[in-house]
Amino acid sequence: MEPSILAQQAVNGLILGATYGLIAIGYTMVYGIIGMINFAHGEIYMVSAYLTAIFLAVLHFFGITSIPVVLIVVLVATLCITALHGWFVERIAYRPLRDSNRLAPLITAIGLSLILQNYVRLSQGARSQGVPTLLTGSFVIPAGSGVIQITHVQALIIVVAIASMAVLTFIMHRTSLGRACRATEQDRVMASLLGINTDYIISVVFVIGAAMAAIAGVLVSLNYGSFDFHIGFITGIKAFTAAVLGGIGSLPGAMLGGLILGLSESFFSGFVNTDYKDVFAFALLVLVLIFRPSGLLGQPLVTKV
């Protein structure tokens, strides 16, 4: 086996996996706190891709071309507006149904995902949209008789994914907000009896999830250079799979699940067959669930008496 090819496939898988992981965080946090799957999350990611293009165009209009400034402004602006979408989704589709049948929010989730898709389609058009190339060039690392190529955007994906995971872990484990989140996750009624505004905390969780999806949206749009209103569906399903694989409800599990999914897709596609890479990824998921029903890092659900 040529070492440069092996290493390049590992890099491909890590980058793909990092974006899956970032989106998977939204699924896993929402499940952890209110025990439902937010199927509209993929569409939140799609919205952030559009916002990226819009903000890039706005900055270009004002003649701002310094790449670090553009990157930071676009990232922050997209993050804020996408987070607002996340908050809005929770407010109108889930909060009114919080104490109803478990199926009801699931159905509003699907409905909301249709609404978001068509709202974007009607306002932005059905055609694919392009993102101007912001960063060109790549790192070329010699390995064996060949080279490994990592574009600057891909390197940025890895760096930003690690940084945002670190920030998120810090928030969840070292701040009072994080403590309140974890308390609400463990027992919502008890947490509210102890003076935690659980409604507010649940909103915050949706906002954090959407913000992570926004980071992924900005990076992915810059990486692939184009998107359309359909991208939320496939990516959403993959990220959801990553969350289940890593153990839904577990934060490091989401990232781990994303990376495993990305790597397995990349290696299977690269060394066996591209036609069946999704079959392989889902077979892996089934196997994991047979032997560890709560996922790789998930906590078994304890029935509260």
Partner 1 sequence: MNKMVQFGGVLISMLRLLSPPPAVAEEGIPIGVAGPFTGAYAAFGEQLWRGAEQAANDINAAGGINGKKIELFKGDDACEPKQALAVANQLVDRHGVRAVIGHFCSSSTIPASEVYAEAGILHITPASTNPMVTERGITTLFRTCGRDDQQGSTGANFIVNTLKANAIAVIHDKDTYGQGLADAMRTQLQRLGKKEVLYEGLTRGEKDFNALVTKFKSVNAEAVYFGGLHNEAGPLVRQMKEQGLKAPLVSGDGIVSEEFVIAAGGPAYAEGVYMTFGRDPRKIKEGQEVVDRLRKSGFEPEGYTLYSYATMQIVAAAIAATRGTDGAALAKWLHTHDVPTVMGSKGWDEKGDLKTSDYVMYRWNNKGSYEEVP
Nearer to partner 1, 95 or 121 (CB): 121
Check binding of 219 to partner 1 (CB under 8 A).
no
| Phi, psi angles (nearest 5°) of residue 161 | -65, -45
Please give the single-letter amino acid code of residue 241: T
CB of 30 to partner 1, least distance (A): 24
| Among 227, 239, 244, 254, interactor with partner 1 by CB under 8 A | 227
| Among 22, 216, 269, 285, interactor with partner 1 by CB under 8 A | 269
Q: Please state, in angstroms and rounded to a whole number, the distance separating the CA atoms of residues 3 and 164.
A: 31
In this structure, the chain runs to a length of 305
Nearer to partner 1, 117 or 184 (CB): 117
Task: Return the number of other C-beta atoms located less than 10 Å from residue 64's C-beta.
Answer: 12
CB of 29 to partner 1, least distance (A): 24
Check binding of 52 to partner 1 (CB under 8 A).
no
| Among 87, 88, 267, 280, interactor with partner 1 by CB under 8 A | 267
Q: How many CA atoms lie within 13 A of 114 on its CB side?
A: 5
Our CA angle for 49, 113, 33, nearest 5°, is 95
| Phi, psi angles (nearest 5°) of residue 141 | -115, 120
Yes or no: say if 5 and 145 are a contact pair by the CB < 8 Å rule.
no
| Among 104, 270, 280, 296, interactor with partner 1 by CB under 8 A | 270
CB of 77 to partner 1, least distance (A): 21
| Among 175, 197, 274, 299, interactor with partner 1 by CB under 8 A | 274
Q: Number of helices and strands (H, E) in the chain?
A: 11, 4
Check binding of 65 to partner 1 (CB under 8 A).
no
Check binding of 224 to partner 1 (CB under 8 A).
yes
Check binding of 104 to partner 1 (CB under 8 A).
no
Nearer to partner 1, 17 or 247 (CB): 17
| Among 35, 178, 225, 252, interactor with partner 1 by CB under 8 A | 225
Check binding of 182 to partner 1 (CB under 8 A).
no
Nearer to partner 1, 95 or 230 (CB): 230
x-or-dash string of contact with partner 1, 117-156, rule CB under 8 A: ----x----xxxxxxxx----x-x-----xx-x-x-----
Question: Who contacts 161 (Cβ-Cβ below 8 Å, separation ≥6)?
Answer: 18, 19, 21, 22, 215, 219, 255
**Cα separation values, 22 from 104, 136, 219, Å:** 27, 23, 11
Question: Who contacts 296 (Cβ-Cβ below 8 Å, separation ≥6)?
Answer: 245, 246, 247, 253, 256, 257, 260, 288
| Phi, psi angles (nearest 5°) of residue 249 | 105, -15
Residues 8-47 that bind partner 1 (CB under 8 A): 8-9, 12-13, 15-16
Our CA angle for 297, 301, 302, nearest 5°, is 130
List of residues contacting partner 1 (CB under 8 A): 2, 5, 8-9, 12-13, 15-16, 121, 126-133, 138, 140, 146-147, 149, 151, 220, 224-228, 230-231, 233-234, 265-267, 269-271, 273-275, 277-278
